[in-house]
Amino acid sequence: MRLRHVKGAKDLIASHPELIIDNIDNELIDLDNLFINDFPIHIEIGMGKGKFIYTKALLNPNINYIGIERFDSVIVRALEKVIEEPLSNLMLLRTDAQDLRQIFKSKSIDRIYLNFSDPWPKDRHAKRRLTHKRFLDIYKDLLKEDSELHIKTDNQELFQFSFEETTNYPMNLLYVELDLHNSDFKDNIMTEFEEKFSKRGNKIQKLTAKF
Ligand SMILES: C[S@@+](CC[C@H](N)C(=O)[O-])C[C@H]1O[C@@H](n2cnc3c(N)ncnc32)[C@H](O)[C@@H]1O
């Protein structure tokens, strides 16, 4: 994603602590008091401008959602949307995925979504891919027993890598689809990147696994 500096992003984030947590110091978040109920918590890591998670939250009021993104200049676009139309079951979190163990208690999350993660095509950058084993270790720790990891991408190399990482890890593959938009899969919610790349004719691939 091309990044532009967005003027005022930091100030806007700082002025809405009820909608977004700017996790500068990697403090533990008290999930028991973040939402007004005990509904399951689903997170999206690398949510970009937040279209997917906002729609999910709108359609599923009995699930709490946390949209995670590391860049101010990107997450501020999701923040603008929730300022306009807040949802009681959606919080935003500005942080890096590699810090999530300090931020959430072990076994506190019910589902993780990774949508169109940055592919990092060079081998020497493989460790930065959000489906690398070092991130699977983090997700395993965060997720409750039997909880699912959902991965979606149009990038074949990243999909192949993610397939290998998840099958080499002690986890079970539940679902693999190489052409999601021409499959029986119901209720797919498109992300910003998914709209853009499917219009170009790219096939969308999806994988679901649990630890
Ligand atoms: C290619 S974009 C996809 C955005 C969105 N999920 C979509 O499908 O439209 C990937 C996003 O993941 C974010 N990201 C990449 N690595 C991250 C990390 N380690 N922690 C948090 N966010 C990350 C990037 O900043 C970027 O906004």
The tens digit of pLDDT for each residue in 117-148 reads 999 999 999 999 999 999 999 999 999 999 99
Confirm whether 26 is domain-assigned.
no
- Number of domains composing the chain: 1
Confirm whether 4 is domain-assigned.
no
Cut 0.95: pTM above it:
yes
pLDDT above 90 as % of the chain: 94
Residue whose Cα lies nearest atom 13 of ligand 1: it is 46
For the purposes of burial, counting CB atoms within 10 Å of the CB of 79, is it exposed (0-12), middle (13-18) or buried (19 or more)? buried
Distance 114 CA to ligand 1 centre (A): 8
Confirm whether 44 is domain-assigned.
yes
Confirm whether 20 is domain-assigned.
no
- Between β-strands 90-94 and 64-69, what pairing exists: parallel, antiparallel or unpaired? parallel
Find the CATH number of the domain harbouring 66.
Answer: 3.40.50.150
> What tokens were used for 150?
């959902």
Q: Give dist(CA 141, CA 105) in Å, integer.
A: 9
> Is 97 a pocket residue for ligand 1 (Cβ < 6 Å)?
yes
When the pLDDT of each residue in the chain is averaged and rounded to a whole number, the result is 96
Q: What is the DSSP string of 109-132?
A: EEEEEEES-----SGGGGGGSTTS
Residue numbers annotated as active site: 118
Would the pLDDT of 22 be above 70? Answer: yes
Distance 33 CA to ligand 1 centre (A): 27
Confirm whether 11 is domain-assigned.
no
Confirm whether 27 is domain-assigned.
no
Confirm whether 134 is domain-assigned.
yes
Confirm whether 18 is domain-assigned.
no
What is the strand order of the sheet 20-22 is part of? 20-22, 90-94, 64-69, 41-45, 109-115, 143-153, 205-210, 172-177
**What does the radius of gyration of the chain's CA atoms come to, in whole angstroms?**
16
> What tokens were used for 11?
């100030």
What would the pLDDT profile of 59-113 be if each residue is shown by its tens digit? 999 999 999 999 999 999 999 999 999 999 999 999 999 999 999 999 999 999 9
Q: What is the pLDDT of residue 7?
A: 85
Domain that holds residue 141: 34-210
Q: What residues are paired with 68 via a beta bridge?
A: 45, 93
> What tokens were used for 187?
């209720």
CB contact at 8 A, 112 and 184: no
